[in-house]
Structure 1
Amino acid sequence: MRAMIETYAALLQDTSGVQAILAEMDRQVSDAKQSVESTKAGVKELAKAIKSSESLLLLGMGASHYANELISFQLRKLGYQALAVSASEFIYDPIPQWKGPVLLTSQSGESVETVRCLPLLEGLQVFSITLNAESTIGRKTQSLVASGGEEKAFAGTRSVTLTIAIMASVCVALGMKSRQELDHALENGPESLQELEKALGLIIQAKHVVATGRSIFSPLAHLFALGCEELSRQAMVCLETGQLRHGPTEILSCDSSLVVFRQDGPLGQLAGSFVELQRKAGFSCVVFDASSYKALENSITIRFPEGDDIFTVLGMMSAFQTLMITYACAKNPYTGLPRYGSKVTTTE
């Protein structure tokens, strides 16, 4: 997948941004495995707190918020009350009478809204996942610090993979799967890179792209769309599939490309309804498919090992990152070099 990114990076006026991203991606699997090992004690304590209270409140911003949503779905499937709220909402409209543990997620440990949550959480057991042990959040919480240091490149790749790997490790501690299965998930990838290339061709040609998924695959779609927007400077609509079905399907046309993140099980079966919609609207369709069902007709299908959980998501990270980066390279000659933002957002 690195070769595919380098091919499209050759289109850029300045490749330094993408080279920085590649440097992060090159070590994300090894850093993820090391992070799982180095945070074992903290993960055990967080799992104990979740079991004791049967709940977890998760606060973060940007990609960290979507990672929080991802594990909140998984924890609910395991029978726990889990709620992911963006830190920017929580500081102005906190949740009354919350007594359970809290998890703050911040790559830098300095995201302004997440830091501002700290005074509102006094008296609670507050954990965090961060890449910076010396940050405000790293110092003031029971921190689970991922390996390899802070992420330097613009747009989250390695940081998101490490965060989700630690979250999957929490699920292991809660008895969901084994450490060996987690390591195996990190090594997974698409069955065919050729289909990834075809998918890129479709979304580059589209005038606008829509991303969607259900349940645990909805925040995965949001991570994809967020990365595409940050890097390509192109707007991308992203909605949970049920919400997309309630009216916004009207935006789909022959000028659109729909990117579907499809899991196994009943929710994966529901994706079959896009076939008839595609006949009517004429959009192109790309499917990141971890289901056991036949591919959707007239779609580019990128197959992954079957599953519907956080471990399945880990096996899709490098592939969707590759698609979002190459898409950006085709749209923005300065991919990875922000105009207005920065790696760490310190202004509300």
Structure 2
Amino acid sequence: MEPKASFVDAMRAQPENLAIARDTVLRDLAAADLEPWGADDSVAVLAMGASLNSAHTLVAALAAAGRPATAFVASDVADGLAVVRADRTIVVSESGRSPEPLAAARTLTSGTSVGISNFPEQPIKDTVDAVLGLGGFPDSPVYTSGFTATILAYALLLDSVGALDAADEATRIPSRAEEALGGYAAIAETIGRVLADATTIDVVGRGGSLTAASELSLMVREGLRTPSTAFETFQYLHGPMEVLSSDDALVVFGDGRELSIPSSVLDAGVRVVLVTSASPDSVPGAGHDNLTIVPLPAGLGIFERAVVETVIGQLAIAAAIQHKPYPLEDFLYHQDDTKLPVR
């Protein structure tokens, strides 16, 4: 069976696990000897759940470099609701046993494919041209280490094939996670109280920050059992925010249009958390009792920032669960078809 850890233990082990993942991915990349990717090569990511959330960072990083990339819901591809015709495909499954990404990979008729998994010996290896392992470390049922390690693997993969210069970022990610675990522990207690008291929680971000926004929303649903949805920043402005009330919370990641979103809802009693590298002086609602600003270091690369933002969300979940009458790790509903049998 796959080794499991508690949420807090797996969260705290991330610096060590990320270092393991870096070494393991580099080893597997050397063994795979992948050919360089062309400047115009299109990239597709096939994944489900948390793994799909991680793909926003990869897509945003490639887009910033002018490279075409799309993340697909793997079940859509497997069932013919979406068609992939990419030059390069990345299949992501932390367990290596998620049936939808594996079925989607079998529909591919062109290009080359690379898998990313914490357990590369599982069925994922039969569906891709090469698979990159993360190290087989214990992870929590609400994914922590495996999620951030996948982001690290993206950076190393894209650097290895010449798509992006991301090796330095990948080297820094374990220490960035360690700094975030220590540096944001105190403010996470405040965020946790906000999340625990909310009836519903909206989470907003765009580009690489949509990774942390989407993953925090999923952790809220899985761990806190609270209704939550993630939105791309500008999409959020086109109607979804109209349901907010003083019973709800809003978490926003970003440095652009995200800065002015809080000011429109703070006086309505909505508790808002803004995670940003922008100066508080540039935030219209700064100083409002209902606004908590979480400052990010300036100059983070896109993969580093995604990991730091994700760790902040993890810390907030760990703090919020202390105010709930149930454990974080126990899921209420179990589905028998979301994983293939362990080899």
Tell me if both proteins adopt one fold, taking TM over 0.5 as the criterion.
yes
Does 2:311 match 1:324?
Answer: no
Does 2:302 match 1:309?
Answer: yes
Does 2:171 match 1:179?
Answer: no
Q: Give the Cα–Cα distance (whole angstroms) in 1 for the partners of residues 13 and 336 of structure 2.
A: 19
Q: Determine helix, strand or coil for the equivalent of 2:170.
A: helix
- Residue 113 of structure 2: aligned partner: 126
1:226-249 C-alpha deviation (Å, 9 max, x unpaired): 011111122112211111100111
Q: Give the Cα–Cα distance (whole angstroms) in 2 for the partners of residues 210 and 71 of structure 1.
A: 23
Does 2:276 match 1:289?
Answer: yes
Q: Give the Cα–Cα distance (whole angstroms) in 2 for the partners of residues 343 and 288 of structure 1.
A: 37
Q: Give the Cα–Cα distance (whole angstroms) in 1 for the partners of residues 270 and 230 of structure 2.
A: 15
Aligned residues: 324
- Is the contact made by 1:138 and 1:145 (CA closer than 8 Å) also made in structure 2? no
Q: CA deviation at 1:192?
A: 4.5
Q: Which ranges in structure 2 are unaligned for 5 or more consecutive residues?
A: none
Q: Give the Cα–Cα distance (whole angstroms) in 2 for the partners of residues 222 and 113 of structure 1.
A: 20
Q: CA deviation at 1:341?
A: 2.6
| Compared CA separation, residues 183 and 102, structure 1 to 2 (3 A) | same
Map residues 255-274 of structure 1 onto 2, 5 A cutoff.
Answer: 255-262=247-254, 268-274=255-261
Q: Give the Cα–Cα distance (whole angstroms) in 2 for the partners of residues 233 and 176 of structure 1.
A: 38
The correspondence for 2:10, drawn from 24, 27, 33, is 24
Q: Give the Cα–Cα distance (whole angstroms) in 2 for the partners of residues 76 and 254 of structure 1.
A: 37
- Is the contact made by 1:155 and 1:343 (CA closer than 8 Å) also made in structure 2? no
Q: Give the Cα–Cα distance (whole angstroms) in 1 for the partners of residues 266 and 332 of structure 2.
A: 39
| Compared CA separation, residues 343 and 64, structure 1 to 2 (3 A) | farther
| Residues 211-220 or 292-301, more deviating | 292-301
Q: Determine helix, strand or coil for the equivalent of 1:286.
A: strand
The Cα RMSD (Å) is: 2.7
- 4+ residue runs over 4 A deviation: 41-49, 94-97, 175-178
The correspondence for 1:248, drawn from 235, 240, 246, is 240
1:229-283 C-alpha deviation (Å, 9 max, x unpaired): 1111221122111111001111112222111112xxxxx1312322431245321
| Compared CA separation, residues 64 and 238, structure 1 to 2 (3 A) | same
- Residue 224 of structure 2: aligned partner: 232
Q: Give the Cα–Cα distance (whole angstroms) in 1 for the partners of residues 100 and 33 of structure 2.
A: 22
Q: Determine helix, strand or coil for the equivalent of 2:69.
A: strand
Q: Structure 2 counterpart of 1:310, which letter? A: F
Q: Give the Cα–Cα distance (whole angstroms) in 1 for the partners of residues 171 and 207 of structure 2.
A: 23
The correspondence for 1:340, drawn from 325, 333, 337, is 333
Q: Give the Cα–Cα distance (whole angstroms) in 2 for the partners of residues 177 and 292 of structure 1.
A: 28
Q: Structure 1 counterpart of 2:16, which letter? A: S
Q: CA deviation at 1:79?
A: 1.5
- Residue 197 of structure 1: aligned partner: 189
Q: CA deviation at 1:345?
A: 1.6
- Percent sequence identity is 19
The correspondence for 1:167, drawn from 154, 158, 163, is 154
Q: Which ranges in structure 1 are unaligned for 5 or more consecutive residues?
A: 1-17, 263-267
| Compared CA separation, residues 276 and 301, structure 1 to 2 (3 A) | closer
- Residue 66 of structure 1: aligned partner: 53
1:287-313 C-alpha deviation (Å, 9 max, x unpaired): 122334535422111222124612211
1:43-75 C-alpha deviation (Å, 9 max, x unpaired): 476874533652211000000011122211111
Does 2:95 match 1:108?
Answer: yes
TM-score by length of 2: 0.84
